[in-house]
Amino acid sequence: MGTEILTTTADCEIVNSRIFNTPRELVFRAWSDPNHLKQWWGPSGFTNTFNEFDFRVGGKWSFIMHGPDKGNYANECEFIKIEEPSLIAWKRFSKPLFQVLATFEEVTKDKTKLVFKMVFTTAEECSKLRPFVVDKNEENFDRLEVELAKMIDQKI
């Protein structure tokens, strides 16, 4: 895996999308500002410890996700493409290996369509995670909605 975004077929991708009733710049900020991102990243009940968050192409994102019951999950990532406010992509160096491509599309001034695509190098690796990941990504989006509401209330 280089720093380019992988091109794949549908059997190597897991895609979730949702329309948020929030301006695109705010949704992008919830993803690009570590003070917001650590509040909502991960499935329901998870918390995060960010060790490094260097938001630039080639920058590292190193963090630990703490499970609600038990377990700490180390994540080592590198940002490979950033186009503010429309795209963020990174690759993971910790297993399972995949790339993420998040796009932010302005539907209207106050609505943003987020497409979250996980790209795997093989269909086999993708199919192992698909049964769990789709629902967990939706939980992640639910948590993002809560953070976005706080950001709007606090006029951040």
Peptide bond before 131: cis, by omega within 30 degrees of 0? no
Handedness of CA 140, 49, 54, 155 (dihedral sign): positive
Domains and CATH numbers, the chain: 10-43+83-153 (3.30.530.20)
Note the pLDDT of residue 1: 42
Note the pLDDT of residue 155: 75
- Give the global pTM: 0.92
Q: What is the pLDDT along the chain (156 residues), one digit of tens a residue?
A: 455 666 667 899 999 999 999 999 999 999 999 999 999 999 999 999 999 999 999 999 999 999 998 899 999 999 999 999 999 999 999 888 999 999 999 999 999 999 999 999 889 999 999 999 999 999 999 999 999 999 999 876
